[in-house]
Structure 1
Amino acid sequence: MQNNCARLVESLTAAPVAVVIALVCSFAHADEAPVPVTAVQTVALTRGPISRPVHAYGVVAASASNVTTIDLPYIARIVQMRVQAGQSVVRGAPLFVVQADPAAVVAAAQARSAAQLADDDLARTQSLFDKSLATQSQLAAARKAALDARQALAAQNQLGVGNGKTTVVAPHDGVVTQVSAGQGDQVQAGAAVLQLSAGTRAGDAQPNVTLGVEPSDIASIHRGDGVTVSGLSTALQSAHIAGRVVMVGAAVDSQTQLVSVGANVPTGQSAFIPGTRVKADIDTQSGVHWIVPRSAVLHDAQGDYVFQTSSDGMAHRENVKIVVENGGHYGVDGPLDAARKLVVVGNYELHDGAPVRVENAKQGPAQ
């Protein structure tokens, strides 16, 4: 068209007309200028679980459901203490040796002799009854006396007094969390001698990790939210154990100004023993969404949106809704296409239908 315009201008003798035609031709040529192409960078679109982590700090404690209090049903003196607080023990391991109070030993001996006497009397009465030398009521009384004596002996045997000296063993594997009596102490019946904590198991309903959470975050935390615990010490920083929130506090602690959250974390035989200081990430607002980098999401009067590229080399705007934020990513909902790439760099210069040239830093220009 430019050559045609030139020939037309040269053929005209009137200068003003030539100038006008030249201007018209220049404008027509300007309309044919190529549309600018925007260089962008893209990433693949993914969909999956995402949540907003709430950071907290706390301490490992013994779950109430897994703590066994070891006591004695009779008055006794601690002859020998075989364990100390913090020690791991296996089932059947000796915990301490006790000497029963003399009165308890006498009561146990009397129960044994009374049971033996009642059994002998019942056998004698039965023999007399068989010879018609004892009445039915006498036999019934002997039977009742023998039954009462055996029940009294069974009660004494349940106390475990025996001959007076007894070794108390661990009823299960665990850790001695507290020792309340020492060697030589006399303990009363029912008084705690020590506490034995078993390893917490997955699915337990009682908390064994207590965390402090900022009051502003507590509304987003619910029972059942996932928790990942790691240690504060250098040795435990790389150790991670997953658990669940089982208790959410409803009041602010007056000293810490934090709200307590209880988590159940199956520590088992790990290094996370009771008293270990820990940090934790609580997964809140968990759900399955499109996971996109923060740089991909733009905002205008119509709301949040992203750009996706298509096979025709164009950028297409898609409106989205931000549901959750996790570090450098958003979890969004919207009519996105997993087959199309997501624009993360250069999107500020785009509009719907704008031509683009993909120049990913690692891959070079897209083919």
Structure 2
Amino acid sequence: MKARLLLMLAIVMSLPLAASAATAADEPSVLVKTEPLRKQTVSETLTVYGTVMPATGAAENVSLPRPVQVARLLVSPGQVVKRGEPLLELSTDATATAAYRQAESAETFAQGELKRMEDLAVQQLATHSQVAAARKALQDAQSALAAQQKLGSGLANQTVKAPFDALVVAISVQQGDRIQPGTTVMQLARAGALRALLGVEPEDAGRVRVGMPIRLASVFSSGETVNATVSQVFGAINPQTRLVDVAARLAGSTKGLLPGMQVRGFIDLGGQENWVVSRSAVLQDGRGAYLYQVSDGHAKRVAVTVGVESGGIVAVSGNLDGHLKVVVLGNYELKDGMVVREQAR
């Protein structure tokens, strides 16, 4: 009888323990993958768009000091030329040729007049002042002829050559055109001397500084990038683009970039050390961004503020525990406090 009572007492005492074990076994759990929370410096990159153009001071206009006619164009826009390479052939306009001939005739006449006055002076038939006037007239005629020669008016035809290694940026005339003195015929840019003019959103302009590195690439290509440096940040909004202009000086090889080409730029804004997690760790709902850390086998929801994202990782800040792992897979099934089972590595 006593033994039976002891047995019943043992059974009754074990019931709560069994119920507790059953409850723990029945509690839902989620299989998840985790990774350690770590700190890392994440660089922020600002993407901008713009156009390549000749560097300031690198472009030079080709013009002539006398009226001419374009006989032949020997280059085309976008062509690269070497120093001394022919650019175009010109013929001097008839009016310029006539002016040169008149200057020649005046100089010949003045020489004859001076000789005649000197002969008369020897015979005492001309005064010293008359001889001096004749000599002054000759000097004036010689100066006028020299000016015409400097203008090239005495040349029936002329071949204009490149003054330096250059890129033909633009040609503003056509074959057969008559050109007035000082009119720009074409524009050359020194080879390799290029810059990019980029547009930055007004709210980002304050973060861009002179000297910051930029990587440039054609918008139509995902290939090689060209290194450049911010050379100027403009202080007003461009009324055409509604953006703030930023000029970048190309350093070294331009790798196929040409004036007029549309480019995409990546400005390195620098970075600072932050907590970083895989992008998949961060979730979003009506309460904002959050992630789960694992504490004593249970999911712990932590609200976070998302920062810079780069290369599949994202900077986060919040009430994070650096000693707890972060759930990166399976987190969509979790709720705060839920039991988790970590995948074996």
**Structure 1 length-normalised TM:** 0.58
Residue identity opposite 2:271 in structure 1: G
User: Which one of 75, 80, 90 corresponds to residue 88 of structure 1?
Assistant: 80
Give distance in 2, aligned partners of 1:10 and 1:179: 118
Secondary structure of 2:69's aligned partner: strand
Using the TM superposition, give the Cα deviation of residue 105 of structure 1 relative to its aligned residue in structure 2, in angstroms.
3.2
Give distance in 1, aligned partners of 2:40 and 2:102: 73
1:149-160 to 2 correspondences below 5 Å: 159=151
Map of 2:218 onto structure 1: 230
- The answer to whether the aligner puts 1:187 opposite 2:179 as a matched pair is yes
User: Which one of 160, 164, 172 corresponds to residue 172 of structure 1?
Assistant: 164
Map of 1:294 onto structure 2: 279
Bigger strand fraction: 2
- Is this contact kept in 1: 2:226–2:255, CA < 8 A? no
- Is this contact kept in 2: 1:105–1:163, CA < 8 A? no
User: Which one of 264, 269, 274 corresponds to residue 280 of structure 1?
Assistant: 264
Map of 1:51 onto structure 2: 44
Residue identity opposite 1:250 in structure 2: I
Using the TM superposition, give the Cα deviation of residue 325 of structure 1 relative to its aligned residue in structure 2, in angstroms.
3.6
- Is this contact kept in 1: 2:60–2:189, CA < 8 A? yes
- The answer to whether the aligner puts 1:75 opposite 2:67 as a matched pair is yes
Map of 1:197 onto structure 2: 189
- Is this contact kept in 1: 2:229–2:249, CA < 8 A? yes
Map of 2:97 onto structure 1: 102
Residue identity opposite 2:282 in structure 1: V
- Which runs of 5 or more structure 1 residues have no equivalent in the other structure? 1-8, 118-133, 135-143, 360-364
Secondary structure of 1:13's aligned partner: helix
Using the TM superposition, give the Cα deviation of residue 188 of structure 1 relative to its aligned residue in structure 2, in angstroms.
1.6
Label 1:51 to 1:289 Cα distance change in 2 as closer, same or farther (>3 A): same
- Is this contact kept in 1: 2:100–2:149, CA < 8 A? no
- Is this contact kept in 1: 2:44–2:270, CA < 8 A? yes
Give distance in 2, aligned partners of 1:112 and 1:46: 87
Q: How many residues align?
A: 315
- The answer to whether the aligner puts 1:250 opposite 2:234 as a matched pair is no
Give distance in 2, aligned partners of 1:321 and 1:24: 44
1:123-138 to 2 correspondences below 5 Å: none
Using the TM superposition, give the Cα deviation of residue 239 of structure 1 relative to its aligned residue in structure 2, in angstroms.
4.5
- Is this contact kept in 2: 1:227–1:263, CA < 8 A? no
State the identity as a percent.
Answer: 28
Give distance in 2, aligned partners of 1:104 and 1:16: 136
Using the TM superposition, give the Cα deviation of residue 70 of structure 1 relative to its aligned residue in structure 2, in angstroms.
0.2
Give distance in 2, aligned partners of 1:47 and 1:112: 84
Label 1:11 to 1:324 Cα distance change in 2 as closer, same or farther (>3 A): same
Question: Could you list the per-position Cα deviations for residues 289-309 of structure 1 after superposition, in whole angstroms to 9, with x for gaps in the alignment?
Answer: 445322223579998666678
**Structure 2 length-normalised TM:** 0.60
Using the TM superposition, give the Cα deviation of residue 162 of structure 1 relative to its aligned residue in structure 2, in angstroms.
6.1
Give distance in 1, aligned partners of 2:24 and 2:5: 28
- The answer to whether the aligner puts 1:344 opposite 2:332 as a matched pair is no
Residue identity opposite 2:216 in structure 1: T
Label 1:152 to 1:358 Cα distance change in 2 as closer, same or farther (>3 A): farther
Label 1:22 to 1:91 Cα distance change in 2 as closer, same or farther (>3 A): same
Residue identity opposite 1:228 in structure 2: L
- Is this contact kept in 2: 1:81–1:183, CA < 8 A? yes
Residue identity opposite 1:287 in structure 2: G
Give distance in 1, aligned partners of 2:5 and 2:324: 59
Map of 1:129 onto structure 2: none
RMSD of aligned Cα (Å): 5.7
Question: Could you list the per-position Cα deviations for residues 204-241 of structure 1 after superposition, in whole angstroms to 9, with x for gaps in the alignment?
Answer: 5x63xx66x7xxx5422465563532242xxx453443
Give distance in 2, aligned partners of 1:269 and 1:26: 77
Question: Could you list the per-position Cα deviations for residues 135-182 of structure 1 after superposition, in whole angstroms to 9, with x for gaps in the alignment?
Answer: xxxxxxxxx999999998886676455655433211222222322233
Give distance in 2, aligned partners of 1:145 and 1:218: 67
Label 1:281 to 1:273 Cα distance change in 2 as closer, same or farther (>3 A): closer
